[in-house]
Amino acid sequence: MVPVITSERSQRVEKLKEATHLKKYPICTEKARLMTETFMETEGEANIIRRAKALANLLDKITIFIEDGELIVGWPASKPMGFELEHNSTKWEDEEWEGEKGISFKEDEQFVITDKVWAEIKSLNKYWHTRTSVYRQGPLWDEERLWPYLQAGVRPPIWKNKEEGQHRGSAGGQLGYGGYFVCLDYAMLLNRGLNGLIEEAKEELRNLRFTSPDSVEKAYFLQSVIISHKAIIGYANRFAVLAAEMASKEADPTRKKELERIAATCQWVPANPARSFYEAMQSYWFIVLMLVCGVFPLGRFDQFMYPFYKKDIEEGRITANEALELLQCLRIKLMEPNHTFGKTYRQKHAGFARWNNMVIGGVTPDGKDATNDLTYLILEAAKRCQTPHHTISLRVHEGTPEALMLKAMELVKTGIGMPAFAGDKSYIEYLLSQGVPLNEARDYALVGCFDATIPGRSAIPAGITIFGVPIIFDFFMHNGIEPRTGRQVGPRTGELESFKTFDDLMRAFKEQFTYYSKLQAEWMGVWVQVGNEIDPNPITSSLMVDGIKYGKNIFSRKFPFNQAEALVPAGMINVVDSLAAIKKLVFEEKKVTMKELKAALWANWQGDRYQEIRKMCLSVPKFGNDDDYVDSIATELYQFFADMVATIPTNFGGTVKPSGVSVSAHGPIGAMTGATPDGRYAGEVVADGTMSPAQGRDTHGPIAVIKSASKIDQTPYQSTLLNMKFHPSTLETTEDMRKLSDFTKTYFAMGGKHIQFNIVSKETLLDAQKQPEKYRDLIVRVAGYSAYYVQLTKIIQDEIIQRMEYRKTA
């Protein structure tokens, strides 16, 4: 049943939303200063205890405030919309703050930094420079394999040196710490409260006997859980006191009552079980503030929150409109945890990329349709409060109600790129193939962009390895040599002219592909293991299923569904199209010699003959047009990758998992890649996602796109990504929306895993580039996230413009 709501807009929400729009965002150091203060005082103590104490010091002292009109309270920074410097990020260099105009932080028009803040950053650098995860990894990079690989930029940006890695730095995020894509057991938190977890930890500690190898580790873990959760309760109580003080001075009786409710709520949750929908929302937000910046998943929100909503509705404590306003307030709160990196990494995460994925719909663990009133209200909240965050993903199955699909298409029609759609059939089949029981597989959520996970029962590190397949192909074309430097970084698989058949060439490329994939996996294993040791997280670890019983940090614990390492091949479609061009023009039709093709690529297609060759390359069938000639290569290459990575073991048991997203990495990857045989110029952006055709190359309509994509067996992948762009004229009527709904369901019935839509015209995007001040609210879908268009880099703006735009036909 669709809940009955009024059409009246919330003035409160409009005011709060407007406050998130700043011309310049402040860089703050209060978090880093308070955390560092504790770390300096606790040298020599167990690392997990130090982190718990540092969090306690932060939550006890950081500046807090309640903005006018707020219903849900708690901020991730000491200033509104601020970016708190991460205490243990890699060292910030002078060039990051005072370098190139418009790119360095000091010159970037999006940020404001004072001389006092910069001086404090320099001071913090001195302490943390040798204490970061990257610094600890440095001695492990050997000169023969791993270090040359890291400097080759296959996973851009290029590593600067062994001590500073990719020179990323970090500012913003939440109050907590730790690098995990983890969907917590939110239902357990809301129904037990942190006091329940504290008592469980105390009981485990009382019963602990130091008779096993893990007993000391467990004791430290349990102590850190108690310290951390008490600190969160204390933080909530600070807001209770502040709200009560504000209420005592408030003249407006309506606002006075709201502040009194905030005070009572923060006194009760998250310490105790939530007793209402409002308390559940506030408790949930306090915990979200403690999670990893940028990538924390919001879980199956309409499932674990529905019992609180249903009870309040039945008992007359809340109306659908009041719940709708709270859901809009949550969208506003999720605009606050801003996060950014150093200048090179900002290109990879363009537009303040974040992946706060709220999953709705799908089926229940027993296989029934999971749609409820909250499912509809969440979509309506996004329609009324149009912000890039949080992301919404709608799980679709055969029994998804038509009314829900039409409601989702109403939101898609707004152009904000939500919801994305996930096909239950493919996701559940993937989880079953990994040994996940059917009832748990049906309960999957999405983390990061679109990776499948089981809430409370599996974990992925927040560093999924997105690497550039076109970069690897570029090295392959030069027999393992990196063209930029002339270094031999990969195996010598043969000069291109030496291959007698296309199959010989394909075998050689797969050898290079395998070599770099294994290096990626090794890097990932080191990154996760070192991070697990120096950056343990008692909060996240304790909010997993049986987390306190196990008494281990999250990646010291073995989950039945182990996702500790995942590899993501970005730009694969450009390689597919390139291989098709080589196969047709060099080996079959013999219109071009391999030597001539290499010369054309090296010249970046400049010159009459080379332009002629480029035209021939462009004329070869391209992926996304339902042409088996090229689609068969895509099918083969994706299957090869899935089979190959499944043989790579991880440090944490099990094998590497294949994934398929791109963030905005297709920009930096393209910048690192020379001209490719698909007709692409050097430096141009590569294809986004993993199932998306290269920009503008899908010329045979949207049905041809999904037919090409569905030929790839997507089941072995824990995620895939298909972006499509439609002109607004295609969704003018209810019948239009019904057609797009049927189109989506058809793709999933054919084996598709994910699809999402941009509903925006090329003319609008071009005008937004010329007059950004007129389009500050224009939102587009980039990859696994949406962003304000004017906050994206020019490279990614142009990439979205270049995507094929489908218009309504007569």
What's residue 5's pLDDT? Answer: 78
* pLDDT score, position 90: 55
| pLDDT for residue 663 | 64
One-letter amino acid for residue 419 of the chain: P
> How many other CB atoms sit within 10 Å of the CB of residue 448?
25
Per the listing, tokens 């102590």 go with 223
**Is 684 within 8 Å of 697 (Cβ atoms)?**
no
Q: Whole-angstrom Cα distance, residue 120 to residue 612?
A: 58
**Is residue 172 assigned to a domain?**
no
642: its two tokens: 């899935």
Is 481 in contact with 487 (CB distance < 8 Å)?
yes
Q: Is residue 268 part of a domain?
A: yes
Across the beta sheet with 657-658, the strand order is 465-468, 566-570, 657-658
Give Cβ neighbours of residue 142 (< 8 Å, ≥ 6 apart): none
Which residue is it, tokens 């409820």? 372
Give 296's pLDDT tier (boundaries 50, 70, 90).
confident
Tokens at residue 160, please? Answer: 């600067």
User: Mind listing the pLDDT tens digit for each residue in 608-640?
Assistant: 999 999 999 999 999 999 999 999 999 999 999
Coil vs helix vs strand at 326: helix
Q: Would the pLDDT of 54 be above 70? A: yes
Q: Can you tell me the distance from the alpha carbon of 436 to that of 264, in angstroms, rounded to the nearest whole number?
A: 42
Percent of the chain with pLDDT over 90: 66
| Whether the predicted pLDDT of 394 surpasses 70 | yes
- 810: pLDDT strictly greater than 60: no
Residues 436, 536, single domain; the answer is no
Which pLDDT score is estimated for 372? 98
**What pLDDT, on a 0 to 100 scale, did the predictor assign at position 430?**
97
Q: CA-CA distance, 370 to 360, in Å (whole number)?
A: 8
Q: Answer yes or no: are the C-beta atoms of 800 and 757 closer than 8 Å.
A: no
pLDDT > 70: percent of the chain: 91
772 and 630 share one domain: no
Instruction: Indicate whether 355 pLDDT > 90.
Output: no
Reported as a single tens digit per residue, the pLDDT across 258-289 is: 999 999 999 999 999 999 999 999 999 999 99
Residue 703 clears pLDDT 90, i.e. is over it: yes
Q: Are residues 384 and 495 in the same domain?
A: no
Residue 505 has pLDDT above 70, yes or no: yes
Residues contacting 225, CB < 8 A, separation 6+: 52, 197, 198, 201, 538, 539, 541, 542, 548
Residues 679 and 576 both lie in one domain: yes
- Alpha-carbon distance of 252 to 243, in angstroms, equals 14
Statement to judge: residues 328 and 274 lie in one domain: no
User: What range defines the domain where residue 4 resides?
Assistant: 1-20+299-333+353-458+726-810
Chain centre to alpha carbon of residue 724: 19
Among candidates 335, 244, 239, 326, which has minimal Cα distance to 277?
326
Q: Please, what is the Cα angle at 531 between 182 and 515, to 5 degrees? A: 90
Return the structure tokens found at 666.
Answer: 């297709």
Same domain, 668 and 711: yes
Q: Are residues 139 and 118 part of one domain?
A: no
Nearest residue to 470 (alpha-carbon basis) of 566, 568, 578, 567: 578
Q: How confident is the model at residue 59 (pLDDT cuts 50, 70, 90)?
A: very high
Mean pLDDT calculated for residue range 215-227:
97
pLDDT, one tens digit per residue, over 452-499 is 999 999 877 655 678 899 999 999 999 999 988 899 999 999 999 999
Whether 116 and 72 share a structural domain: yes
Residue 244 is assigned to a structural domain of this protein: yes
What distance in Å separates the CA atoms of residue 215 and residue 209, rounded to the nearest whole number?
A: 7
The arithmetic mean of pLDDT across residues 16-27, rounded, is 86
Closest CA to 592 of 571, 572, 574, 619: 619
What's the pTM value of the predicted model, to 2 decimals?
A: 0.94
How far is the C-alpha of 358 from the C-alpha of 548, rounded, in Å? 26
Domain finish residue from 253, 281, 309: 281
Length of the chain: 810
Helix H or strand E segment including 38: helix 30-41
The pLDDT mean for the chain works out to 90
pLDDT at 660: 85
Structure tokens at 54: 């540092």
Give residue for tokens 């070869």: 620
Q: Helices 702-710 and 734-749, interaxial angle, to 10°?
A: 20
Is it the case that residue 358 has pLDDT exceeding 90? yes
Amino acid type, 606: Q
Q: Which two tokens stand for residue 285?
A: 């937000």
Q: What is the pLDDT of residue 447?
A: 87
Please check whether residue 633 lies inside any domain of the structure.
Answer: yes
| Angle, alpha carbons 68-73-76 (nearest 5°) | 110
> In the structure, what pLDDT confidence band is assigned to residue 350 with cuts at 50, 70 and 90?
low
The stretches of 335-446 forming alpha helices (DSSP H) are: 343-348, 373-384, 402-413, 424-433, 438-441
At residue 513, φ and ψ (nearest 5 deg) are -60, -45
pLDDT reading at 343 higher than 60: no
The answer to whether residues 148 and 186 belong to one domain is: no
Same domain, 531 and 658: yes
Predicted confidence at residue 726, as pLDDT, reads 93
On whether residue 416 sits in a domain, the answer given is yes
Query: Which 3 state secondary structure label does DSSP give 365?
Result: coil
- Give the pLDDT band (50/70/90) at residue 805: confident
- 266 and 327 housed in the same domain: no
The whole-number average pLDDT for the span 215-229 is 97
Residue 347 lies in a domain: no
pLDDT tens digits, one per residue of 159-172? 777 877 765 555 55
pLDDT for residue 730 is more than 80: yes
345: in domain: no
- Provide the pLDDT for residue 126: 82
Instruction: Specify the pLDDT at position 98.
Output: 63
Residue 186: inside a domain = yes
Q: Rounded CA gap, 488 and 493, in Å?
A: 12
Rounded-to-integer distance, Cα 435 and Cα 224, Å: 33
Q: How wide is the angle at C-alpha 39 spanned by C-alphas 37 and 41, nearest 5°? A: 70
Work out how many domains the chain is built from and give that number. Answer: 3
- For 658-683, write each residue's pLDDT tens digit: 998 766 667 788 888 999 999 999 99
Q: What is the mean pLDDT of residues 594-618?
A: 97
pLDDT at residue 701 in the model = 94
Q: Quick one: 258 and 305 in the same domain?
A: no
Q: How far is CA 458 from CA 277, 287, 392, 733, in A?
A: 27, 19, 21, 42
Of residues 527 and 383, the one with the higher pLDDT is 383
**Does the bond joining 390 to the residue before it have cis omega, within 30 degrees of 0?**
yes
pLDDT reading at 450 higher than 90: no
